Amino acid sequence: MRRFLLQIFALALITTCALEAQSTQSGAISEALTALQRGDLPTAERVLHAQLQVNPNDVTALGVLAVVLDQEKRYADADKAYRHAIAVSSPSAELLNNFGNHLMVTGKLEEARAVFVKVLGLRPGQENATVQLAQIAVRRNAGEEALKYLDRLAVSRQTSSEINILRMQADYELGRGAEAEEALKRLSVLAATDARLSFSMGVALAAVHQYEKAETFLNRTVEAAPENFEALYDLGLAASHAGHKERAREVLQQALNKEPDNVDVLYDLAVVDSELSHKDVALELLARAARLAPERADVQLPIAHDSADLGYFGDAVEAWNKYMRLAPGNDVGRREHAFAEIALGENVDASMADLKWFVRKHPNDAGGHYELGIAEGVSNPDAAIEELNRALTLKPDLTAALMARGILNYRRGQIAAALPDFELAAKREPTNAAVLDRLGQTYIALGKSGDAVEVLRKANQLAPRDSTILLHLGRALTNTGQSDEAKAVFQRFRELGPNRSGLPHPAGLVDFLSLPPDEQFARYRAGVERTVQRHPENAEAQVRYLEILLNDGKTSEAAAVAQTILALKPGSALLAEAAHAMLGAENYALANDFLDHAIALVGASADLQADKKVAASHLTH
């Protein structure tokens, strides 16, 4: 939408300057305007720079140059040209009007508002300034002010789609639902055959928090113009705000495919991935964004949070350090930095002092009491419970505090007291595998293994590579007499080994994710090769090494590693992963041979049988 508005404003300025040029300027300005009108921006810029070499204070040349630079999206240079023109002249309503338009495009709404007020002082009733002031009022949630400006417009303008959209937005902001819905109904009829209006409607509705309605209009735009990056991006944001996270993820990924280095898209897609519990994917996106825009504090913020959630507290501390350098004086940043350092076991006394300082200064901040409670839990569980109780009093839906209080009670042997917290947390976050695992573990401890099996099976589906969940599920199955299934679960547990993600890690993950893909793969490969050399009995590492060799086309080496994997007698899950890798590399002969041995070793699981059919079908063609 901003790009469309910029084009309108540019054409308005061209007309104004053309009229001035006819009577006051040389042919250079006319030549530049002609080039600009036909879209030849380099020629227009060259001519204008030549004119300004002769007369650096040529106001008209500066004004037209600003338009050219805006069209080229060189907004900083355009800004300098506008300000130069204003500084060396008595600003005209036309020049100020177009400077205000430029400020709107670059998001400087408050400055634009002041400029448009000056325009109306010089030329009362100037239409563009009046409309822009109404638009700014809408963005400031000042519905009454917006309507006041719109009422000043000529009757002929009142029926335009642009003005009706602004009225609709103002009505939504003022809670005048019936009026807003009536306007929406009229505009919807027009938008059904006008893709540009449909896009404008989507953006306008999102601006007043009508996200589901916005999603409908933006969907239409994308269906009509699937290559429209701005429509894809705005649709992704609307879907996210509407709570349709999977749809948001899909659409934002499409937008990222079109502009892989767009920091805003990287950031917003990462936020959605994090909300969907794909924090590892989110962190990779954020690391790319941070490499492209190291000056953006808002990017460092989720890096810090997601790093801590993944157990990489060293990276979290570094991210908070960067954030506080970019946003000094931020109390929450100081609190979070202290919390990450405590988790890492560094500067504990000073960090505890910072957390206590924060809750004294912000006694009604639930997050502060929660984090102090976590920190106190190590040495002073009574104080920890007290802080967590305060956090939940301030914010009853703070699931993390429920979990923390439940864990503290569990560790203190007060298991019955822990159960309600875990049950409520699971009700609020039914797809959170860690919450379900805690609940299942508590059921086992209370002799309710039947309930535990149901909960832990779901947790295992959500996080199939979490060995802690497998351990608890195996115990619950054993307790309920389901020994065959328990045996298979324990075998998978042994294959995966102990979880490491919950342990505090030093810094390094974010730096790794910031590397180009080829360097990431080189480091990954070196790590796998090192593990295989030092621990040849590690079946999972051998499967990863097999994947690397198949990717490199090293068939004979891959065949040798396949035999090593079989000799280690891993479970069917790892054997199926190895078979998938062979099929993916289209090495059907090796896959078929491997699958015969694997089925003889562990039996014909559903995965192995399916892969066997695929391999056999390719070998018979």
Q: Quick check: 155 and 178 in contact, CB under 8 A?
A: no
Task: Estimate the share of the chain in helix, then strand, then coil, as percent rounded to the nearest 5.
Answer: 80, 0, 20
Q: Is the pLDDT of residue 9 over 60?
A: no
How buried is residue 340: exposed, middle or buried, by Cβ count under 10 Å (0-12/13-18/19+)? buried
pLDDT tier for residue 8 given thresholds of 50, 70 and 90: very low
What's the pLDDT tens digit per position in 193-243? 888 999 999 999 999 999 999 999 999 999 999 999 999 999 999 999 999
- CATH for 515-619? 1.25.40.10
Comparing 9 with 166, which gets the higher pLDDT? Answer: 166
Arithmetic mean of pLDDT, 58-63: 92
User: Which range (51-55, 398-402, 536-540) has the least confidence?
Assistant: 536-540
Question: Rounded mean pLDDT of the chain?
Answer: 88
Nearest 10 degrees: CA dihedral of 435, 437, 442, 446?
140
Comparing 18 with 595, which gets the higher pLDDT? Answer: 595
Q: Is the pLDDT of residue 16 over 80?
A: no
pLDDT in the model for residue 350: 94
CA distance 167 to 147: 7
Q: Quick check: 421 and 406 in contact, CB under 8 A?
A: yes
The residues spanned by each domain of the chain are 295-496, 515-619
| Two structure tokens written together for 301 | 């913020």
Q: Is the pLDDT of residue 315 over 90?
A: no
pLDDT in the model for residue 511: 62
| Two structure tokens written together for 229 | 């990056």
pLDDT tier for residue 510 given thresholds of 50, 70 and 90: low
pLDDT tier for residue 509 given thresholds of 50, 70 and 90: low
Q: Let me know if the fold of 295-496 is the same as that of 515-619.
A: yes
Comparing 182 with 8, which gets the higher pLDDT? Answer: 182
pLDDT tier for residue 403 given thresholds of 50, 70 and 90: very high
Predicted TM-score (pTM) of this structure: 0.67
How buried is residue 408: exposed, middle or buried, by Cβ count under 10 Å (0-12/13-18/19+)? buried
Comparing 12 with 109, which gets the higher pLDDT? Answer: 109
pLDDT in the model for residue 296: 95
Specify the CATH superfamily of domain 295-496: Tetratricopeptide repeat domain (1.25.40.10)
Arithmetic mean of pLDDT, 26-34: 86
What's the pLDDT tens digit per position in 318-359? 999 999 999 888 999 999 999 888 887 888 899 999 999 999
Angle, helices 229-241 vs 195-207, to 10°: value is 40
pLDDT in the model for residue 598: 83
pLDDT in the model for residue 512: 56
pLDDT tier for residue 3 given thresholds of 50, 70 and 90: very low
What's the pLDDT tens digit per position in 255-303? 999 999 999 999 999 999 999 989 889 999 999 999 999 999 999 999 9
Residues of the chain with pLDDT > 70, as a percent, come to 91
What's the pLDDT tens digit per position in 346-397? 888 999 999 999 999 999 999 999 999 999 987 899 999 999 999 999 999 9
Q: Quick check: 609 and 616 in contact, CB under 8 A?
A: no
Q: Is the pLDDT of residue 440 over 90?
A: yes
